[in-house]
C-alpha cells in the first residue's frame, strides 16, 4: 500500500497514480514553450490515442498562461475529466502567477461542481522557481482562497451547492517538503478566509461583544491566554480615547488581548494591534449615505489580526506575541463624542477631537499604549484608517509608516513573500508638527485633508514612541466590490498572511 500523509482535511499526498484510478478531475500543468508533450502528459496522450496532441494542434487544449482546458476521457482511463492548466512560458512563471493559475482553476472546478480532484504535482515542478515546499504552499493557499464563499442569509432551496472536498497530490518529490508546504498554505488560506468572514458579517450580527467571542474561540482552540477588558475596567485604567468613541452607542466596548507564547522566556514580544470598529457611521461628523453602506468592514484590521492568530495557532512559530484589539461602534446618540471635545488617552496625552469620523486612530491610541504596558517590544498596527490612503495608493496597496527602518524592512519582506502589496509613506517632521497643531491639547486627531493618510499614521506614532513600530493602513485593499482569481467580493483578509509570515520568520 502506498504511504499517505493527511494534511488537514482537504489534502492527501500519494507517491504515484494508477491510470485506472477513478477520479472526477485529473489536473496536469502544461508549459507554453514545451516543444512536445513529455512526462505524464505524454503518457496521457498515448492512453488517449494521441488526442491530446491533436487537441493542442487544434487549439482545444492550450498552454497559454492561466488557460484551463477540459478534456473528457470517454472511459479510456479512470479519470472522468482531465483539466490541462496553462502555465505560460517557464521563465515568466512567478509565485504570484502560480497563485493566479490555481485561483482560476479552482473557480472552474467550482463552476463544474467538482468535489474531488487529483493533481499531478510534478507536471508543475519543471520551473526554476518551483522548489517543492514553496510550490505546494502556493497551491494549497490558492485553492483555499479561491474556493471561499461567504454563507449568506438568503432562504435556501433544497439543492446543495457542491464544492471541492478532497485534493489528492501525486508526486515523487520529498514528502516532508510537500507536507510542510501544504500545511503552511492551507493554514494561510484558512486564516485569511476566517478574516474575510468576520469582515463580511453584518454589523448587527458582529458587535464588539461578538468579536470578543470569536477571539475567545481562538484562545480556547489553540490554548492561548486571553484577556477581555470590560467598560468598567477601561474606566479604571483611563482608556479615555476608546471610551470616547464608544459614547454614542448602547453596545459596550471591549479591549481584547490574546497572548501566544512560543518561546521559553517571555521576552522580545511582538504585538499586532488591530482596529475593531464594528460599525462606523462617522459619529456627529457623519458620513454620506453611500459612505456608510459598507462600514461593517471597518474592523478589517481586527479581522486581520485574528486571522493571523488562527494561522499562528496552527503552525506554532517560535515567537512571543500579543494580539491587542480595541473594539467599539461609532454611532450617534445624546452622549456622542462632539467635534471640539478634548479627551485624555490611556497614555496621558490629551487629544482635541476635530473630526469624530477620525475615530479609528483614537481607539488604536489606547490599544497601542496598552500593548506597550503589557510588555510589547515591537508593534504592528493594522487598520482601515483613512480614505486618503485609497486616494493615494488605490485599492490594491497598503500604506505604511514607521519609526524604525530595520523593523519596517522585516514587515515589508514578509509582505513580499506573502504576495501582498505595501508602500512606505514619508514621515517628515513637518507632517509630525501637523499632528501637534492643537492650541489646547497635546494632539489634534484631524489636521485636515492634505497628507491625511500620513498624519493619521503619525498620530499613532505618537503613542508608539520609541518602540519599533509599523503602521499598516489597509483601507484600500481590505474590502472589494469586484471579484478576482483569489478574492470574491467583500472582505479580502488582507495582511493576514503578511502578519503570519512575520511571526514565522521573526528572530
- Which tens digits make up the pLDDT trace of 128-182? 556 889 999 999 999 999 999 998 888 765 455 678 899 999 999 889 999 999 9
Could you confirm whether domain 221-505 is CATH 3.40.50.12280? no
Percent of the chain with pLDDT over 70: 96
Contact of 41 with 123, CB cutoff 8 Å: yes
Contact of 310 with 387, CB cutoff 8 Å: no
Site of grid cell 461578538: 210
429 has binding-site annotation: no
Q: Which of 254, 361, 372, 410 is catalytic?
A: 361
> Pick from 161, 216, 185: which is nearest to 102 by CA?
185
Residues written for the chain = 507
Site of grid cell 487629544: 351
298 has binding-site annotation: yes
Alpha-carbon distance 352 to 114, whole Å?
A: 57
Contact of 93 with 129, CB cutoff 8 Å: yes
Task: Look up residue 456 and give its three cell numbers.
Answer: 493619521
pLDDT tens sequence for the chain (507 residues):
344 445 567 999 999 899 999 999 999 999 998 878 888 999 999 999 999 999 999 999 999 999 999 999 999 999 999 999 999 998 888 888 999 999 999 999 999 999 999 999 999 986 555 688 999 999 999 999 999 999 888 876 545 567 889 999 999 988 999 999 999 999 999 999 999 999 999 999 999 999 999 999 999 999 999 999 999 999 999 999 999 999 999 999 999 999 999 999 999 999 999 999 999 999 999 999 999 999 999 999 999 999 999 999 999 999 999 999 999 999 999 999 999 999 999 999 999 999 999 999 999 999 999 999 999 999 999 999 999 999 999 999 999 999 999 999 999 999 999 999 999 999 999 999 999 999 999 999 999 999 999 999 999 999 999 999 999 999 999 999 999 999 999 999 999 999 999 999 998
State the DSSP string of 29-82: EE-TT-SS--HHHHHHHHHTTTHHHHHHHHTSS--STT-EEEEE-TTSSSEEEE
310 has binding-site annotation: no
Boundaries of every domain in the chain: 5-190, 221-505
Contact of 497 with 188, CB cutoff 8 Å: yes
Cα R_g (the chain), whole angstroms: 25
CATH topology identical between 5-190 and 221-505: no
Q: Is 361 a catalytic residue?
A: yes
If phi > 0 it is left, if psi is from -120 to 50 it is alpha, else beta; for residue 67 that is beta
Distances (CA, A) of 382 to 75, 179, 187, 323, 418: 53, 31, 20, 11, 16
Q: Which of 14, 62, 287, 349 is catalytic?
A: 287
pTM for this entry: 0.95
359 has binding-site annotation: yes
Map 257-276 to HEC letters. EEEEECCCCCCCEEEEEECE
What element of type H or E holds 427? none
What is the model's pLDDT at position 153?
Answer: 87
Contact of 44 with 73, CB cutoff 8 Å: no
pLDDT in tens, 392-416: 999 999 999 999 999 999 999 999 9
φ/ψ of residue 131, rounded to 5: -70, 145
Question: What's CA 315's distance to the chain center, in Å?
Answer: 16
Quick one: CATH architecture of 5-190? 3-Layer(aba) Sandwich (3.40)
Q: Is 287 a catalytic residue?
A: yes
Alpha-carbon distance 43 to 179, whole Å?
A: 26
- CA contacts within 13 A on the Cβ side of 237: 20
Amino acid at each position: 500500500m502506498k504511504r499517505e500523509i493527511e494534511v488537514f482535511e482537504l489534502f492527501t499526498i500519494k507517491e504515484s497514480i494508477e491510470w485506472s484510478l477513478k477520479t472526477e478531475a485529473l489536473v496536469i500543468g502544461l508549459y507554453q514553450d514545451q516543444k512536445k508533450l513529455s512526462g505524464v502528459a505524454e503518457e496521457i496522450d498515448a492512453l488517449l490515442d494521441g488526442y491530446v496532441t491533436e487537441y493542442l494542434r487544434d487549439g482545444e487544449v492550450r498552454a497559454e498562461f492561466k488557460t484551463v482546458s477540459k478534456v473528457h476521457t470517454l472511459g479510456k482511463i479512470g479519470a472522468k475529466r482531465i483539466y490541462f492548466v496553462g502555465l505560460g512560458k517557464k521563465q515568466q512563471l512567478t509565485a504570484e502567477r502560480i497563485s493566479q493559475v490555481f485561483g482560476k482553476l479552482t473557480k472552474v472546478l467550482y463552476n463544474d461542481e467538482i468535489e474531488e480532484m487529483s493533481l499531478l504535482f510534478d507536471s508543475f515542478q519543471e520551473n526554476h522557481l518551483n522548489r517543492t515546499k514553496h510550490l505546494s504552499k502556493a497551491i494549497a493557499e490558492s485553492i483555499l482562497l479561491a474556493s471561499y464563499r461567504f454563507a449568506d442569509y438568503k432562504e435556501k432551496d433544497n439543492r446543495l451547492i457542491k464544492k471541492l472536498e478532497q485534493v489528492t497530490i501525486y508526486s515523487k518529490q520529498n514528502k516532508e517538503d510537500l507536507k510542510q508546504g501544504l500545511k503552511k498554505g492551507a493554514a494561510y488560506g484558512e486564516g485569511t478566509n476566517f478574516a474575510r468572514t468576520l469582515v463580511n458579517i453584518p454589523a448587527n450580527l458582529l458587535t464588539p461583544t461578538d468579536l470578543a467571542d470569536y477571539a475567545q474561540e481562538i484562545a480556547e482552540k489553540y490554548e492561548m491566554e486571553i484577556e477581555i477588558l470590560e467598560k468598567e475596567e477601561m474606566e479604571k485604567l483611563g482608556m479615555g480615547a476608546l471610551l470616547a468613541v464608544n459614547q454614542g452607542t448602547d453596545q459596550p466596548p471591549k479591549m481584547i488581548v490574546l497572548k501566544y507564547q512560543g518561546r521559553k522566556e517571555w521576552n522580545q514580544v511582538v504585538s499586532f494591534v488591530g482596529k475593531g470598529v464594528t460599525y462606523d457611521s462617522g459619529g456627529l461628523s457623519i458620513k454620506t449615505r453611500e459612505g456608510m453602506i459598507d462600514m461593517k468592514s471597518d474592523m478589517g484590521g481586527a479581522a486581520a489580526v485574528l486571522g493571523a492568530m488562527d494561522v499562528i495557532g496552527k503552525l506554532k512559530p517560535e515567537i512571543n506575541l500579543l494580539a491587542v484589539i480595541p473594539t467599539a461602534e461609532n454611532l450617534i446618540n445624546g452622549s456622542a463624542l462632539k467635534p471640539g471635545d478634548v479627551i485624555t488617552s490611556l497614555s496621558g496625552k490629551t487629544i482635541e477631537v476635530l473630526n469624530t469620523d477620525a475615530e479609528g486612530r483614537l481607539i488604536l491610541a489606547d490599544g497601542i499604549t496598552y500593548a506597550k504596558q503589557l510588555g510589547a517590544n515591537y508593534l504592528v498596527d493594522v487598520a482601515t484608517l483613512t480614505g486618503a490612503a485609497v486616494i493615494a495608493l488605490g485599492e490594491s496597496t497598503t500604506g505604511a509608516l514607521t519609526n524604525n527602518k530595520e523593523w519596517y524592512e522585516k514587515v515589508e519582506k514578509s509582505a513580499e513573500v506573502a504576495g501582498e502589496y505595501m508602500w512606505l509613506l514619508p514621515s517628515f517632521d513637518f507632517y509630525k508638527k501637523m499632528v501637534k497643531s492643537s492650541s489646547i491639547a497635546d494632539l489634534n486627531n484631524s489636521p485636515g485633508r492634505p497628507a491625511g493618510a500620513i498624519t493619521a499614521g503619525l498620530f499613532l506614532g505618537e503613542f508608539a514612541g520609541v518602540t519599533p513600530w509599523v503602521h499598516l493602513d489597509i483601507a484600500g485593499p481590505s474590502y472589494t466590490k469586484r471579484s478576482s482569481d483569489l478574492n470574491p467580493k467583500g472582505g479580502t483578509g488582507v495582511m493576514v498572511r503578511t502578519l503570519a509570515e512575520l511571526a514565522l520568520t521573526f528572530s
